[in-house]
């Protein structure tokens, strides 16, 4: 499998499942057999993931990526042995300076929910090619990651503008929107992955979906008050 197909979700899921380390091996940069050069994407994704790990209190040294050719068996063995020794030194998740295992699991769960949002916000960087190795360390900064979470965008359906057209409900990829015919729609914020599909799908003439950045989302409309009363029915 091409290293470019290793998704952020794969790595975070591995740590959520209790893996103490994740190693990714890919073809040498600029030696991709395809036009995609997916190894650059893998590198950018790992750099981002390591910053995310540091943000939640998980040692970024538990994740490593190396590039080599299929004929470098000895090098592969040496690199993997070195990584395994490092992981053994770090010990199981939640030791040393890391957050405890239960808190790490909770934080990993929250970040995994935000993966579509993170990819959307950082899409341009993830698609770029680093010119040299010196760029790697500061390609993503800690301040940048802090700001990413501080300014997380949420979506809210304005009950005064919702026309219960069911377009956003049908297009939501994770079924986070509840509603129905003549029922004002509501977004389940715990289930929402912040992908923005509902915002894009809502007809402009309604403008019912609001984008909220770095601020609390209004509480959901109580179930007993979600029946839509149209203007013609009010008279």
What confidence score (pLDDT) does residue 167 get? 96
Residue 38: its pLDDT value, please?
A: 80
The pLDDT of residue 186 is 97
Rounded to whole angstroms, the Cα distance separating 49 from 58 reads 11
Separation between Cα atoms, residue 146 and residue 149, nearest integer Å: 5
Angle at 37 between CA 36 and CA 38, to 5 degrees: 85
**Selection from 119, 106, 123 nearest residue 193 by Cα:** 119
CATH fit for domain 153-234, picks 3.30.70.270, 3.40.50.460, 3.90.1150.10, 3.30.70.20: 3.30.70.20
Q: Alpha-carbon torsion 64, 68, 73, 79, what sign?
A: negative
Low-confidence residues of the chain, pLDDT below 50? 235
Q: What is the pLDDT of residue 232?
A: 58
Beta-carbon contacts of residue 187 (< 8 Å; ≥ 6 apart): 155, 156, 157, 176, 177, 198, 220
Using the structure block, give the residue that is written with the tokens 């809210």.
156
Q: Of how many residues is the chain composed?
A: 235
Where are the chain's structural domains?
3-150, 153-234
Longest dimension (CA), the chain: 82
For 19-29, what is each residue's pLDDT tens digit? Answer: 999 999 988 88
**Residue 2: what pLDDT?**
81
According to the model, what pLDDT value does residue 235 have?
45
Classify residue 74 by burial, with Cβ atoms within 10 Å: 0-12, 13-18, 19+.
exposed
How do 63-67 and 22-26 pair as beta strands?
Answer: parallel
DSSP bridge partners of 67: 26
Q: Please tell me the distance from the alpha carbon of residue 147 to that of residue 212, in angstroms, as a whole number.
A: 15
Query: Pick from 166, 149, 146, 144: which is nearest to 157 by CA?
Result: 166
Q: Write the DSSP symbol of residue 232.
A: H
């Amino acid at each position: 499998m091409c290293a470019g197909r290793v998704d952020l979700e794969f790595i975070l899921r591995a740590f959520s499942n209790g893996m103490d380390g994740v190693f990714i091996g890919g073809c040498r940069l600029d030696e991709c057999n395809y036009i995609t050069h997916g190894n650059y994407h893998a590198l950018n994704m790992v750099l981002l993931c390591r910053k995310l790990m540091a943000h939640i209190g998980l040692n970024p040294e538990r994740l490593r990526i190396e590039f080599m050719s299929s004929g470098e068996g000895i090098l592969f063995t040496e690199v993997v042995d070195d990584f395994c020794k490092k992981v053994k030194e770090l010990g199981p998740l939640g030791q040393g300076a890391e957050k405890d295992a239960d808190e790490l699991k909770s934080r990993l769960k929250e970040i995994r929910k935000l993966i579509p949002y993170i990819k959307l916000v950082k899409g341009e960087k993830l698609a770029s090619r680093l010119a040299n190795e010196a760029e790697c360390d500061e390609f993503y900064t800690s301040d940048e990651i802090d700001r990413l979470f501080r300014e997380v965008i949420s979506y809210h359906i304005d009950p005064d503008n919702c026309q219960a057209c069911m377009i956003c409900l049908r297009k939501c990829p994770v079924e986070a929107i509840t509603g129905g015919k003549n029922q004002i729609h509501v977004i389940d914020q715990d289930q929402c992955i912040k992908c923005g599909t509902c915002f894009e799908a809502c007809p402009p003439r309604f403008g019912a979906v609001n984008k909220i950045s770095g601020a609390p989302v209004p509480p959901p409309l109580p179930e007993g008050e979600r029946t839509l009363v149209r203007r013609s029915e009010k008279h």
